[in-house]
Amino acid sequence: MCLIVFAWRPGHPQPLIVAANRDEFYARPSLPLAPWPEAPQVHAGRDLEAGGTWLGIGPGGRFAALTNIRNPHQPPARKSRGELVARFLTGERPIAEYLDDVIGRSVDYAGFNLLLGDPHELWYYSAQHTSARKLHAGTYGLSNAGLDTPWPKLLKAKAALLEVLQDPQPQALLALLGDPQTAPFTDLPDTGVGLATESLLSSVFIASPTYGTRASTALIVQADGSRQMVERSFGPYGGHLGEVEVRV
């Protein structure tokens, strides 16, 4: 994932609301949102190159999502970050215990941000840190830097999420994820990828011939534990490939 905005509201009738875009090269093979054959209670897309995933839900109210940290100078990774999400969704370890293990092995992966949740807790961990953080109620955003780093796309998406939180609906969440407007050059961060690439990556929804938003996902969790997740898939130039809905 490259952009996640979410509201964590313990005690609310809808305690977790998530809107997320996965940005990736179109040539990287993947499957859309679906139950996993070997773990039918896990619902997620799948990266066919490495076998992991970027966002999903699992049994016991589990939720996990990932973004990469943009750093063109980091060394090659030994393992795929997507396995961090997959292992949590298919496992049973408590969040804090699982994160202790992740922290001890974070050097095996390229830079990442990880969100892990269950019906009672939501945690955040950045590979740039030495400890994880249990989140309090609030509205948050993640892109390719730390939690709530004020990049233009993140600020725009968080503001749009706040506008629909009173009555969040999947189509409204997906609509806010579809904003293609790039940020002014003067507002762009400098992450070492060059001005043209910074501009391309500055929109909420990214479209180009080779790289862009591959999936937009809306997740609404109800207090009774039921969950609704809708995913739209995209190809080159932002071409719409389909939409999948899951209710569990």
pLDDT tens digits, residue range 79-101? 999 999 999 999 999 999 999 99
pLDDT of residue 1: 65
Q: What is the pLDDT of residues 26-71, one digit of tens each?
A: 999 999 999 999 999 999 999 999 999 999 999 999 999 999 999 8
* Lookup result for tokens 């899951």: 246
- Gap between the Cα atoms of 90 and 17, Å rounded: 22
Does domain 3-247 fall into CATH 2.60.260.20? no
Complete DSSP assignment for 27-83: TS-EEEEEEETTEEEEEEEEETTTS--SEEEEGGGEEEEEEE---TTSPPPSS-THH
Percent of the chain with pLDDT over 70: 100
Phi-psi region of 17 (alpha: psi -120 to 50; beta: other; left: phi over 0): beta
Q: What is the pLDDT of residues 215-248, one digit of tens each?
A: 999 999 999 999 999 999 999 999 999 999 999 9
Complete DSSP assignment for the chain: --EEEEEE-TTSSS-EEEEEEEEEETTS-EEEEEEETTEEEEEEEEETTTS--SEEEEGGGEEEEEEE---TTSPPPSS-THHHHHHHHH----HHHHHHHHHHHGGGSSSEEEEEE-SS-EEEEETTSSS-EEPPSEEEEESSSSTT---HHHHHHHHHHHHHTTS--HHHHHHHTT--PPPPGGG----SS-HHHHHHTTSSS---SSEEEEEEEEEEE-TTS-EEEEEEEE-GGG-EEEEEEEE-
| Mean pLDDT score of the chain | 96
Show me where the domains of the chain are located: 3-247
